[in-house]
Structure 1
């Protein structure tokens, strides 16, 4: 099976497991778990940073699989903060070359971050995936993760 097909199957699995689930935390936790398990060891850290409703220009760590994550990330700072500020996904082949990269874990070498929007089109969270490999992500990963994130908040 090719990688694009694998992502389609993962999306169908996530959609099936979270169908009817109203808890956003449960939906994020399920997606992080399924992705981390299916893509290991390439996915070293897989999780969500959620827009803090009390500090709307900050992300706070949400459900994830992996080593200890950063607790808070301001919009515009690091890769996740960049995506929160722009609303656009990003692939970073070498995080050490990304200006302002926040090193939550020194084992991370590449990263992909995808925004998650609510039904009104407002940023709700970002999906952050790190790899210990350099240049671990490509356009197929981005398309697959965007598709998963686009349906994640639809109960």
Structure 2
């Protein structure tokens, strides 16, 4: 069943993975995109290029700069009433609401000022401590990375 899929990130911490429950009930198009990209190995080796303490950790840009995405077309926004609270995963985008592509962020703390403006597609169910431990910065001096991303 699609709503029980998980997106698992091996961050190379050696102590476990970050497991994200995919929310196809909220954002079926975004969940499909993340599933496709993970299956293609797109996220493997990609860094968390922007990590702001008390706010969020952002990754998903193959260049590590925060200015790029996949070669796939941008996605139409799938905004919901789901709150941006600690552990929620949402898509990054430009000022254009329909510009999400491959970049995403994980909320390190409640960020409800983002509600209704970004597409929520998942929530961390295990390994939030690994997200908390990512090196901070914009970009971090030695950024944390996704060693391997899988969907099951």
Same fold at TM > 0.5 = no
Structure 2-normalised TM-score? 0.29
Flag the structure with higher helix content. Answer: 1
